[in-house]
Amino acid sequence: MKHEDLKKVIESCHLNFLIGSGASKNFLETLKGVEDALDNLDKKNGLSDAQTDKKILRLIEVSIKNFYFKKCIEKNIELLNISDDSNETLNNYVNLLSALNTILAKRSSNLVSKQVNLFTTNMDVFLDIALEKLNYAYNDGFSGRMNTKFGTENFHNIINKVSSYYEYQSATPLFNLFKLHGSLNWKYNKKKDEIQYDSQFESTKKLSKLQFEDAELVNCFEGDGKFLNFSDIYKEAKSKDLSKIQDKIDEFLKEYDNLIMVNPNKEKFEETTLKLSYYELLRMYSNNLEKENSVLFVTGFSFADEHIRTITLRTAKSNPTLLIIIFAYDESAEKEIRNNLGDSQFSNIIFLPRDKENYSLSEVNKSVFSKVVKEFFAPPSKEEKSIATQKELQDGK
């Protein structure tokens, strides 16, 4: 796809983004082996009939989840206290959102709304903090102030500005933030059966205080994050003295369950969908892709998630006006995505070629969206001036 064609798409289509963990990997790690680990734990794959001691299995569960927490979750606490521009990953999000806001404000088409839908499977709060830092209008599904609660019906809201004198209304650029797998700033109120806003990451901070010594837990992963042989892990866990850490294990697992997020295992929805709004969020993802003249930009996402992959392929097939543009980080990532998407061939799914740089979030913005913004404000070329002059002469005649 040529840049001019891409620019026309950005100016005239309903804008949607699907953002995965790869977009935050400069700050947080992406651990594919955790999904295999939790799947094997759920199904007890590779264990003998004698390897069924519940206390030992709970130790392994804590070892896996603590590893995941330390690598992918805990550092979010640092984001609460950022007051400068020192965090490179946050700056990447800020720069992208800034470019998108300008595009929404400047694009001339009245046939599409001045909104962009940000769908993300990330539990981190980079997008939340970036939107707050920029002071942009955004909708994250929460309403209220004293009792802030989540409801997917809130995503249907729009924001208009009204002129003081003539009551002229104009749409304000709006970002809709869909956390498809939950978020660290969500908490569940069991008494009221509702999701509430947690600006201070209460559960995350409590888990951070529950420190384990390396010798107390079991090593479940190789250096590259691959899950080790489950039977060998069980044997190592069996050699541990559980009497000293049993209470801490129970406390950790109890507090971990308070995190309102989808765990990275393939049976994720069976345990969480009944009490949260995940399926409704997926339905809204599907509905937005089914709109005529829509584009979905994909960055940092491998399509390993079965639910999202199925919805995306179904809508790509049913909506010929939908265009899906994938920014694969490198050749290896592109191969993985193509493998996950399967053998189906869709002319409306495009892998944007990489130039000299890999497609990090920074490069995605630099090579596409910020480039479009600069062209909005660039003076007209000689050719454009000539065409404009000829048009004026023709109109004069």
Q: What is the mean pLDDT of residues 2-11?
A: 92
All structural domains of the chain with their residue ranges: 3-30+85-138+176-187+276-382, 33-76+200-272
More confident residue, 317 or 271: 317
Separation CA 375–CA 372 (nearest Å): 5
Please state, as a whole number, how many other Cβ atoms lie within 10 Å of the Cβ of residue 273. 14
The superfamily (CATH) of domain 3-30+85-138+176-187+276-382 is: TPP-binding domain (3.40.50.1220)
Query: What is the 8-class DSSP label of residue 221?
Result: B
Q: Are 138 and 198 in contact (CB under 8 A)?
A: no
Dihedral of CA 6/8/13/15: which sign? positive
How far from the centroid of its chain's Cα atoms is residue 72's Cα?
13
Residue 147: pLDDT band (50, 70, 90) is: confident
| pLDDT tens-digit readout, 24-36 | 988 998 877 898 8
Tell me the residue ranges of DSSP E strands in 80-193. Answer: 115-120, 138-139, 142-143, 149-150, 160-162, 169-171, 174-179, 186-189
Percent residues over pLDDT 70 in the chain: 88
| pLDDT tens-digit readout, 214-253 | 999 999 998 878 899 999 999 999 999 998 899 999 999 9
Q: Buried (b) or exposed (e) across 359-369, using 16+ Cβ within 10 A?
A: bbbbbbbbbbb
| pLDDT tens-digit readout, 274-323 | 456 788 999 999 999 999 999 999 999 999 999 999 999 999 999 999 99
> Residue 392 above 60 pLDDT?
no
3-class state of residue 141 by DSSP: coil
- The residues, ordered by sequence, that sit 6+ positions from 118 with a Cβ below 8 Å of its Cβ are 17, 19, 127, 175, 176, 177, 178
